[in-house]
Amino acid sequence: MYLFTGKIVSNRQLTRDIRYLRITAPAEFCRQAAPGRFVMLGCDDGLFDPLLKRPFGIMNRGDDWFEVLIKEVGRGTLQLGELAEGSCVSGHGPLGNGYPEVDSELRSKDSSPLILVAGGMGIASIASCLLFNNRRPLNPDCKTILLYGAARLDELLLLDEIEKNSADLRIETITDDGSSGRRGWVTELLENELRQHPASLTFACGPEPMLKNVQQVLCKFKTRGYLSLENRMACGFGVCLGCVQKMAATGDNGAGESAKVCTQGPVFPADKVVF
Amino acid sequence: MYLFTGKIVSNRQLTRDIRYLRITAPAEFCRQAAPGRFVMLGCDDGLFDPLLKRPFGIMNRGDDWFEVLIKEVGRGTLQLGELAEGSCVSGHGPLGNGYPEVDSELRSKDSSPLILVAGGMGIASIASCLLFNNRRPLNPDCKTILLYGAARLDELLLLDEIEKNSADLRIETITDDGSSGRRGWVTELLENELRQHPASLTFACGPEPMLKNVQQVLCKFKTRGYLSLENRMACGFGVCLGCVQKMAATGDNGAGESAKVCTQGPVFPADKVVF
Amino acid sequence: MVDLQVEIVPGLVLKNPVMTASGTFGYGREYTPYLDIAKLGAIITKGLSLKPKTGNPGTRITETACGMLNAIGLENIGIERFLSDELPQLKQLGADVIVNIFGNNQDDYAAIAARLDQVAGIKALEINISCPNVKAGGIQFGTDPQAAANLVAAVRRVTTLPLITKLSPNVSDITKVAEAVADAGSDVLSLINTLVGLAVDIDSRRPLLGNITGGLSGPAIKPVALRLVHQVVKAVDIPVIGIGGIASARDALEFLLVGARAVEIGTANFINPQIGLEIVTGISDYLEQHEYEKVTDFIGSLQV
Amino acid sequence: MVDLQVEIVPGLVLKNPVMTASGTFGYGREYTPYLDIAKLGAIITKGLSLKPKTGNPGTRITETACGMLNAIGLENIGIERFLSDELPQLKQLGADVIVNIFGNNQDDYAAIAARLDQVAGIKALEINISCPNVKAGGIQFGTDPQAAANLVAAVRRVTTLPLITKLSPNVSDITKVAEAVADAGSDVLSLINTLVGLAVDIDSRRPLLGNITGGLSGPAIKPVALRLVHQVVKAVDIPVIGIGGIASARDALEFLLVGARAVEIGTANFINPQIGLEIVTGISDYLEQHEYEKVTDFIGSLQV
Ligand SMILES: Cc1cc2nc3c(=O)[nH]c(=O)nc-3n(C[C@H](O)[C@H](O)[C@H](O)COP(=O)(O)OP(=O)(O)OC[C@H]3O[C@@H](n4cnc5c(N)ncnc54)[C@H](O)[C@@H]3O)c2cc1C
Ligand SMILES: Cc1cc2nc3c(=O)[nH]c(=O)nc-3n(C[C@H](O)[C@H](O)[C@H](O)COP(=O)(O)OP(=O)(O)OC[C@H]3O[C@@H](n4cnc5c(N)ncnc54)[C@H](O)[C@@H]3O)c2cc1C
Ligand SMILES: Cc1cc2nc3c(=O)[nH]c(=O)nc-3n(C[C@H](O)[C@H](O)[C@H](O)COP(=O)(O)O)c2cc1C
Ligand SMILES: Cc1cc2nc3c(=O)[nH]c(=O)nc-3n(C[C@H](O)[C@H](O)[C@H](O)COP(=O)(O)O)c2cc1C
Ligand code: FES
Ligand code: FES
């Protein structure tokens, strides 16, 4: 966990309200960044509006930089999204647990695939599993399928980057309005896959309604999976208790009935989360 | 009076904490800008910290731009001073009365000079009398002397610009630490001049202690002058009553005992102001 | 077109629910270069007293995080000069005028109210029982339910104009004062006035304001204001006007949502003198987009 | 070297006047990756109750202009788990620990205080009589001088530890509560706890927090906090600790200037977990630059 001042290396506008930023960071931060971990970012201007830092998934990282995808939905994301190259940000991270390592223990059958499910901005977190791959490989003989749903075709982001970086990846996309060819929800794609590969391992990130659906689908197929949550956070390191999520009474994530998403998550076994 | 969004055309750093900004503005704003008038400026970011706009003297203006000198003394000036070229500001103005037109009525003897006294950042306001000159001339047969005091040599600003733009101008400088050659206060220079030209007309702008001294000197020589005040302002257009200054009981600036610096000033006859 | 008209009480119907708060809109005329003040729901004058008042000496304003402290001290031109020099022009401009009044004691308040009772062109009186910047008068009425009720009753006796009582937030239980003044004959409540605050300068080791303490206003206080409006709306049967930190149409709609029948814009006028009308338009646009026919359908529709 | 040590009361001497506020510093251990918690004046634990508590459902935090609202609902691990799982490590780390306590009623408070009385490694108790986010307990003690005094007296009877009573800002006259609890045996006062606030979402037409209202903290409330500290310092003879919106050494010095003998940093810890020590250093640097030999020479030196 590092507190640092980073510089915006580049800021690409992908859609009307989505930005793709590369930011400098200490080497140690980059080394500790693992798929599914996140960073708290704020503008480094000494002013108090916005007050708190905002959490973003670390989508990719190099030796001394990392990348985030920012959707401008309010004051904080708007301010960060509009930062010019060369501007400074205050960063804090990497935080959270990240996705589990995909080893044989996690997968019940080695031939069954790893299914990554991304809804909307959930791609930022999910993409880290693929983009980090060339540095810290997932189990090499693990086939991977990316199921990616968005509202419209132009919100299906970074597909080129992801394909380029991930050999042996199958990508299926779907959009709410059908503009990508297939119309519907990403959980329909998940059902299709699980029907064929019921012993798969699933990682999912996206809006809460989607995660609820993913949870139900996984439950129906009695198959294992992990959900990455995006609860509101004030601190990001376990002290404000603002981000807690109800959890099933027993299990490996905390003894009690709730867990701090920032430190015990954001990635939880799908069957533990109580929405 | 215009509300407008201006763009930073250029931002030159003159000293460690002083910036020289050129900002775009509507043509009508520029036409109405007169020496000694001011503009309220704030960052156009939709955020509430800083909350209020800040007042700055309009030092110069063209057809669709104006210039200000900003000394970074707190949150507001720091934010404005650090704005990159191309950034937007919210502007409101031109506000205030400005310096009176220098016609024969104002000056008791046509051969006696107009003395401009600037202390520190007061140069921004005072310089407008000179830099606007090429557009709206002061009385052409009026000789002008600029008396300019600052803390140190490197805080004597824009002397080249001013000389270039003002034919027939004599400039005397003085610094607190003597680094400009002469050590002392600008009011000493004023005393010297008034001793020689007791019928001069004086305009002065600078920190309050300096203006108090100027007032005393003018009083001693029984000569006419105007002071430009820089009271704290919330609105700049006469509605908050935050900027009022005590005034002598009678006179042409308001019936009462106080005046709003933003609308009745910032320039007042020196003998009316009660410090 | 969304119908923005709101009837606060039968004698006080506003063309839209957006007013400008006392002390932040001068006497109205100062704003004519920026907007057509006749298009506002109403303008509320700077607080007026029987005699002119010069206000507090020293520094009167200082900025704080997302807010400002003021200690103007209720400087004003007095009721007579207002009636002779300002009101005629406001009438001519077509503005709907509410006069904010204050005094040093109950008799002062009653005297101003009586003086204004028969004056044409005044839509209502707003009684300031809550200004934190004057020693006598003002806040002690605002924190004591009984004193507030007596004051309102005294004013009520001498005027037939709709009476709005402006409440102080600096109390343990605002509903006590609210109920007391409602019972005493106030037709409407408006809240909040400023929170009492202090700012100091560590270098000079002095308070930043001449008056030492001042009134905190601006976006910083909006959460407190919204909470108090919500509380008072639930506690009393008379209409409530929401004030505090409103700087956008969304802010104004938040107050309407919790049940305010109208709002007053204060500090935001200093930053953007056109904000009042921008908020009127913004409310209309929002309601149209969300398919409301009239603003009254939105008012008080909070689901808890 | 400036001497930063402050004696709050004879039994409570701090190496410097910078503490971390309850509920914003976890149980202390969470901050060890960021700073040496032994270098802080003291750390104050999350509010602890007799039994573990799960807190409020739904959204618990939302940001406001220069502030935040929280409605955590005093979730905590309970006093026994704190003593077994957390305190030993804090002792080992060398931290000076003040325990913040609350209960549903007077007996709860007394029971916790009694339990902690003989425990080594606790420097003082801070009694939270002012949390706005729980229905039973908390705020009703904080707004009623008599209830507050009874509570403090009950705690006083069962402990010899220095007692700090944490006051609510949501009152008409804070000096009444301050005097009452001082008379009842509180050694020290700390203030302010959060202001009660509300935030709503006009699109969903619902409150943004699960608990409806929440506690406002952060820079937005600093002027109100400073005013109340100033008021209480003048009203009582016992020492006062300042809290509210402190985010820099200058902010902390403002509270010391008006007479607080120490400060607590709250919300700012979330934004910068190292802020506590940065403020210690900043205070030292400022005082050195201004040629103070000890911080106690600066405390209370406001000239009005
Ligand atoms: C672990 C984690 C990882 C995240 N990763 C990314 C990412 O990679 N890219 C990205 O664009 N966003 C990500 N988010 C969401 C992002 O943090 C929020 O969008 C952001 O905090 C909103 O701040 P704001 O000031 O712009 O919005 P606000 O003005 O605070 O709110 C605007 C709107 O956004 C909603 N909102 C606010 N906070 C959240 C939140 N935490 N989750 C969902 N909705 C919220 C509000 O309800 C409101 O409707 C992540 C969140 C978490 C917790
Ligand atoms: C009519 C007028 C014209 C001005 N012209 C210029 C100009 O051309 N160039 C320029 O750099 N500045 C000018 N000023 C001063 C400038 O407005 C202030 O420096 C600025 O408002 C400070 O804002 P801040 O947020 O940076 O400082 P804050 O953080 O608000 O305060 C920082 C320090 O500045 C002091 N301060 C704040 N406001 C004022 C003020 N109005 N006057 C003096 N001291 C103040 C405070 O006491 C404090 O010590 C002018 C002021 C007025 C009223
Ligand atoms: C500079 C200033 C002067 C004020 N003067 C008065 C006044 O004369 N009478 C009054 O009732 N309220 C007065 N107020 C309070 C405002 O009307 C309003 O209640 C308060 O500022 C909160 O609203 P805001 O946050 O939108 O500013 C004044 C406020 C400010 C900022
Ligand atoms: C998330 C959060 C949780 C808090 N929990 C407690 C608590 O358990 N007990 C308590 O006495 N105060 C609690 N407080 C109040 C703080 O200790 C402090 O009084 C308040 O936040 C004002 O200080 P600040 O503006 O520096 O945050 C909490 C505050 C926050 C923001
Ligand atoms: S965000 Fe503060 S505890 Fe998780
Ligand atoms: S600055 Fe508001 S009246 Fe002058």
- C-alpha B32 – ligand 2 centre gap (Å): 23
C23 in contact with ligand 3, CB cutoff 6 A: yes
Q: How far apart are CA D131 and CA D144, in angstroms?
A: 14
pLDDT of C131 above 70:
no
Q: How far apart are CA C165 and CA D128, in angstroms?
A: 35
pLDDT of D138 above 90:
no
B234 in contact with ligand 6, CB cutoff 6 A: yes
pLDDT for A140: 58
Range picked from B124-133, B249-258, D132-141 for highest mean pLDDT: B124-133
- Residue C204: pLDDT band (50, 70, 90) is very high
pLDDT 10s digits, C288-303: 999 999 999 999 999 9
Mean pLDDT of C154-179: 95
pLDDT for B239: 96
Chain D residues with beta carbon closer than 8 angstroms to that of B52: none
**Nearest ligand to the C-alpha atom of residue B124:** 2
pLDDT 10s digits, C54-102: 889 999 999 999 999 999 999 999 999 999 999 999 999 999 999 999 9
pLDDT 10s digits, D43-57: 999 999 999 998 899
pLDDT of A105 above 60:
no
Which is nearest to C100 in space by CA: C36, C218, C7, C193? C193
Q: What is the mean pLDDT of chain D?
A: 94
Q: With CB atoms and an 8 Å threshold, state whether B78 touches A48.
A: no
Q: How far apart are CA C158 and CA C149, in angstroms?
A: 15
Name the phi and psi angles at A44, rounded to 5.
Answer: -95, 60
Q: What is the mean pLDDT of chain C?
A: 94
Q: How far apart are CA B7 and CA B33, in angstroms?
A: 17
Asked about D131 being catalytic, the answer comes back as: yes
pLDDT for B136: 44
Mean pLDDT of A42-52: 96
CB neighbourhood size of A250 (10 A) = 9
The residue among D66, D222, D248 with the most chain B CBs within 10 A of its CB, best to mutate, is D66
Could you tell me the two tokens for A179? 């503009």
pLDDT for A253: 45
pLDDT for B105: 57
Q: With CB atoms and an 8 Å threshold, state whether D273 touches A3.
A: yes
Which residues, including other chains, have CB under 8 Å from residue B68's CB and lie 6 or more apart?
B20, B21, B23, B39, B41, B56, B57, B58, B59, B124
Domain ranges of chain A: 2-95, 99-229, 231-275
- C-alpha B54 – ligand 2 centre gap (Å): 7
Range picked from A211-225, C119-133, C240-254 for highest mean pLDDT: C240-254
Q: How far apart are CA C52 and CA C100, in angstroms?
A: 14
CATH no., domain B99-229: 3.40.50.80
D253 part of contact set with chain C, CB < 8 Å: yes
Which is nearest to C243 in space by CA: C263, C221, C268? C263
pLDDT for A136: 44
pLDDT of A84 above 60:
yes
- C-alpha D134 – ligand 4 centre gap (Å): 13
From B51, B237, B258, the mutation candidate for ligand 6 (largest count of ligand atoms within 8 A of CB) is: B237
Q: How far apart are CA D243 and CA D245, in angstroms?
A: 7
pLDDT of A89 above 90:
yes
CB neighbourhood size of D253 (10 A) = 26
Q: How far apart are CA D83 and CA D119, in angstroms?
A: 9
D166 in contact with ligand 4, CB cutoff 6 A: yes
pLDDT 10s digits, B19-61: 999 999 999 999 999 999 999 999 999 999 999 999 999 999 9
Catalytic residue among D131, D151, D174, D236: D131
Nearest residue of B to residue D220 by CA position? Answer: B49
- Domain D6-297 classified CATH 3.40.50.12500? no
Mean pLDDT of B54-73: 96
pLDDT for A43: 96
In a 13 Å sphere around the CA of D133, the CA atoms on its Cβ side amount to 28
Measuring CA to CA, how many Å separate D221 from each of C64, C198, D45? 9, 10, 22
SS3 per residue for B190-251 = HHHHHHHCCCCEEEEECCHHHHHHHHHHHHHCCCCEEEECCCCCCCCCCCCCCCEEEECCCC
pLDDT 10s digits, B86-143: 999 999 999 999 999 876 555 555 567 889 999 999 999 999 998 885 544 455 566 8
Domain ranges of chain C: 6-297
Catalytic residue among C131, C208, C262, C299: C131
Which is nearest to B50 in space by CA: B22, B82, B26? B82
- C-alpha A215 – ligand 1 centre gap (Å): 21
In the three-class reduction of DSSP (H, G, I as helix; E, B as strand; rest coil), residue B138 is classed as: coil
Which is nearest to C212 in space by CA: B261, D177, D226? D226
D194 in contact with ligand 4, CB cutoff 6 A: yes
Beta C262-265 vs C18-20: how paired, if at all? parallel
Start-end of H helices in chain B: 27-32, 75-81, 122-131, 159-165, 186-196, 208-220
Q: With CB atoms and an 8 Å threshold, state whether D218 touches A51.
A: yes
Chain D residues with beta carbon closer than 8 angstroms to that of A235: 269-270, 273
Q: How far apart are CA A156 and CA A179, in angstroms?
A: 10
B52 in contact with ligand 6, CB cutoff 6 A: no
Measuring CA to CA, how many Å separate B77 from each of A275, B20, B41? 48, 12, 9
pLDDT of A35 above 70:
yes
pLDDT of A104 above 80:
no
Mean pLDDT of A169-182: 88
Nearest residue of A to residue B76 by CA position? Answer: A47
Pick A240's closest partner by Cβ from D57, D247, D270: D270
pLDDT 10s digits, A3-30: 999 999 999 999 999 999 999 999 999 9
The CATH superfamily holding the domain B2-95 is Translation factors (2.40.30.10)
Chain C residues with beta carbon closer than 8 angstroms to that of D207: 302, 304
pLDDT for A137: 47
- Name the CA radius of gyration of chain B, rounded: 18
Mean pLDDT of C182-189: 97
pLDDT for B253: 46
How high is the ipTM of this complex?
0.95
B252 part of contact set with chain A, CB < 8 Å: no
Mean pLDDT of A82-95: 95
pLDDT for C209: 97
**Nearest ligand to the C-alpha atom of residue B229:** 2
Chain A residues with beta carbon closer than 8 angstroms to that of C66: 48-49
